[in-house]
């Protein structure tokens, strides 16, 4: 009994000493002026070719960042049909979660130039320097107070070493690619997609929001990090809710993901939630498919989120989920006891994440199939005048449209190599040998993907 009181007293003492600083950095304002640049749809895409390429980078620390970087390197070596460019220059959309969001944001900012220095500037660096990453007596108080690390350490490191003050305004200076950075709204239990929809609803300025902070929110693992806080400013602007948000919010038969997202956006707008608390995006969507899925489910016309001109022009679409999630781990299956403590928390989180990503990917495949069918019906229903107005070329075939959807992961490589890769920790520091091994795995996994090979005309 005395020992129990001693533990309680120690916890109380630690809690009393702990202080978590999580002041929000977003500014009041309106994103109305940026809606044309930042709206969550595909209308920003330049219609310079008839292909649509989209990538989704999963969570998993530096190993996820390295795996997705290998995919980008392989795309840089893959010529497009007709020559003159490589496929990396045709990427239209990238969605990132946690470790994958680092690669997504940096590539979105630097484009092809990111290939030259991302390995040295991030993958080979220790992004955990200056952070406390272990749960022990010294960090227990901060863990109980909300998180071992507050929301300043990782953003500060990312900004000093990678983003150098870049904001979402810098990210959108060029049209292609469109980047989604995904976190988890832990109160509404929904994805939080950094974009114009959410920031307009809360009357906040997206353009000035630092990329480093958005990426850190996407990677804020519970307990290790305190939630990143976003403040809402209801009444500071006149922006009404988008019509599709109101419709999805009030429609009892709306798809669950869209309904939950719309209700969260409404709460931001109405002032019901003064402070939004964000943690790792993998908690609700470790594949980062929410941005794509919400854009499709919120479409008001069959061709959306494309423009009519793009919907007529497109012939092929490639959608690749780059999956660096963890494999099975832990030795507590060999005893009656366990798991306990940190292992129990990790096991529970991994179970929830793995259960959701499988269902999420299956739903995404179905959604993409439905969208392809809807596009074909719309195209085939166009009048001659509409076809001419939207730029249909002579000999145009309304049925000439094919989407290729695939997932690449360690498990698709040979078993011995996959087993070795799955032992790579999901930390933000890895030895160079492991970094290079994971990069090579990304190149090889994409090269072996049947969806990619069919899209690239290699099968």
185 tagged catalytic: no
For the chain, what percentages of helix, strand and coil (3-state, to nearest 5) are there? 50, 15, 35
Q: Write the pLDDT tens digit of every residue in 251-301.
A: 999 888 889 999 999 999 999 999 999 999 888 888 888 877 887 877 788
Q: Which residues contact 400 (CB under 8 A, 6 or more apart)?
A: 315
Would you state the pLDDT for residue 92? 87
Instruction: For residue 380, name the pLDDT band (cuts at 50, 70, 90).
Output: very high
**Which member of 49, 92, 159, 280 is catalytic?**
280
Q: Write the pLDDT tens digit of every residue in 409-429.
A: 999 999 999 999 998 988 889
For the range 124-133, what are the long-range contacts, defined as Cβ-Cβ under 8 Å and sequence gap of 24 or more? 124/432, 124/435, 125/161, 125/429, 126/428, 126/429, 127/62, 127/154, 127/157, 127/158, 127/161, 127/428, 127/429, 128/427, 128/428, 128/429, 129/157, 129/429, 130/157, 131/157, 133/224, 133/427
Burial (CB < 10 A; 0-12, 13-18, 19+), residue 352, is: middle
Longest dimension (CA), the chain: 87
Q: Is the peptide bond prior to 339 cis by the omega test (within 30 degrees of 0)? A: yes
Average pLDDT, the chain: 83
Instruction: For residue 310, name the pLDDT band (cuts at 50, 70, 90).
Output: confident
Out of 65-69, 241-245, 326-330, the most confident range is 65-69
More confident residue, 18 or 240: 240
Residue 2, pLDDT above cutoff 90: no
Whole-angstrom distance, CA of residue 193 vs CA of residue 290: 8
Burial (CB < 10 A; 0-12, 13-18, 19+), residue 131, is: middle
Would you state the pLDDT for residue 144? 60
Q: Which residues contact 4 (CB under 8 A, 6 or more apart)?
A: none
Contact (CB, 8 A) for 224 and 300? no
Q: Tokens 């130039």 map to which residue?
A: 113
* Domains identified in the chain and CATH numbers: 21-325+338-384+398-456 (3.40.1090.10)
Q: Tokens 């702990």 map to which residue?
A: 18
Whole-angstrom distance, CA of residue 177 vs CA of residue 134: 37
Whole-angstrom distance, CA of residue 276 vs CA of residue 295: 22
270 tagged catalytic: no
Would you state the pLDDT for residue 387? 94
Calculate mean pLDDT across residues 364-392: 93
More confident residue, 316 or 38: 316
Cα 410 from chain centroid?
19
Q: Write the pLDDT tens digit of every residue in 149-204.
A: 677 788 889 999 999 999 999 987 666 788 999 999 999 999 999 988 899 999 99
What one-character-per-residue DSSP string does 157-188 give? HHIIIIITT-BHHHHTSSSSSEEEEEEEETTT
Residue 302: how many CB atoms within 10 A of its CB?
A: 17
Burial (CB < 10 A; 0-12, 13-18, 19+), residue 331, is: exposed
Residue 327, pLDDT above cutoff 80: no
Q: Which residues contact 247 (CB under 8 A, 6 or more apart)?
A: 254, 262
Would you state the pLDDT for residue 307? 85
Q: Write the pLDDT tens digit of every residue in 3-53.
A: 443 443 444 444 444 556 678 889 998 655 444 433 444 444 444 578 889
Could you tell me which of 320, 316, 329, 303 has the C-alpha nearest to residue 381? Answer: 303
- What is the token pair recorded at 35? 């809606």
Would you state the pLDDT for residue 139? 57
Contact (CB, 8 A) for 66 and 430? yes
Would you state the pLDDT for residue 3? 46
More confident residue, 169 or 353: 169
More confident residue, 129 or 333: 129
Q: Write the pLDDT tens digit of every residue in 6-18.
A: 443 444 444 444 5
Would you state the pLDDT for residue 297? 78
What one-character-per-residue DSSP string does 411-426 give? GGS-HHHHHHHTTS--
Would you state the pLDDT for residue 312? 94
Instruction: For residue 99, name the pLDDT band (cuts at 50, 70, 90).
Output: very high
409 strand-pairing partners: 323
> Which regions of 19-120 does DSSP assign to beta strands (E)?
51-57, 91-97
Global confidence as pTM = 0.87
402 strand-pairing partners: 316
Would you state the pLDDT for residue 131? 66
Would you state the pLDDT for residue 36? 40
Q: How far is CA 295 from CA 40, 289, 439, 455, in A?
A: 6, 10, 30, 23
Would you state the pLDDT for residue 33? 44
Secondary structure class of 22 (helix, strand, coil): coil
Whole-angstrom distance, CA of residue 45 vs CA of residue 353: 32
**Which member of 31, 58, 68, 98 is catalytic?**
98
């Amino acid at each position: 009994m005395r020992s129990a009181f001693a533990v309680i007293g120690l916890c109380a003492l630690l809690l009393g000493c702990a202080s978590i600083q999580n002041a929000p950095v977003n500014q009041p304002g309106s994103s109305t002026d940026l809606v044309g640049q930042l709206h969550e749809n595909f209308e920003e895409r330049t219609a310079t070719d008839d292909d649509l390429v989209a990538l989704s980078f999963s969570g998993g620390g530096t190993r996820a960042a390295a795996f997705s970087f290998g995919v980008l390197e392989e795309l840089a070596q893959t010529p497009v049909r007709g020559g003159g460019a490589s496929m990396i220059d045709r990427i239209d959309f990238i969605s990132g979660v946690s470790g994958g969001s680092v690669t997504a944001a940096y590539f979105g900012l630097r484009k092809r130039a990111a290939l030259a220095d991302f390995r040295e500037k991030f993958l080979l660096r220790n992004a955990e320097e200056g952070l406390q990453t272990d749960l022990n007596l010294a960090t227990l108080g901060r863990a109980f107070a909300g998180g071992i690390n507050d929301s300043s350490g990782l953003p500060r490191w990312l900004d000093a070493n990678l983003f150098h003050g870049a904001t979402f305004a810098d990210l959108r200076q060029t049209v292609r690619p469109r980047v989604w950075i995904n976190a988890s709204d832990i109160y509404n239990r929904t994805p939080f997609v950094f974009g114009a929809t959410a920031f307009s609803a809360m009357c906040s300025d997206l353009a000035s929001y630092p990329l480093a902070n958005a990426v850190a929110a996407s990677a804020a693992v519970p307990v290790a990090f305190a939630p990143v806080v976003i403040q809402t400013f209801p009444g500071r602007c006149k922006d009404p809710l988008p019509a599709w948000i109101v419709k999805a919010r009030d429609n009892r038969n709306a798809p669950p993901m869209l309904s939950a997202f719309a209700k969260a956006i409404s709460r931001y707008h109405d002032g019901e939630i003064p402070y939004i608390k964000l943690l790792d995006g993998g908690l609700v969507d470790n594949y980062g498919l929410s941005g794509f899925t919400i854009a499709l489910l919120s479409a008001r016309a069959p061709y959306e989120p494309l423009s009519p001109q793009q919907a007529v022009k497109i012939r092929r679409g490639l959608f690749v989920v780059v999956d660096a999630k963890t494999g099975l781990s832990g030795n507590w299956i060999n005893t009656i006891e366990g798991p306990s403590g940190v292992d129990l928390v990790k096991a529970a989180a991994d179970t929830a994440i793995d259960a959701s990503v499988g269902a999420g990917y299956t739903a995404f495949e179905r959604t993409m199939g439905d969208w392809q069918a809807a596009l074909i019906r719309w195209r085939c229903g166009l009048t001659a005048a509409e076809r001419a107005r939207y730029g249909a070329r002579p000999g145009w075939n309304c049925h000439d449209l094919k989407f290729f959807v695939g997932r690449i992961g360690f498990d698709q490589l040979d078993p011995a190599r996959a087993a070795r890769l799955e032992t790579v920790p999901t930390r933000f520091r890895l030895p160079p040998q492991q970094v290079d091994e994971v990069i090579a795995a990304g190149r090889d996994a994409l090269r072996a993907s049947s969806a990619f090979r069919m899209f690239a005309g290699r099968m």
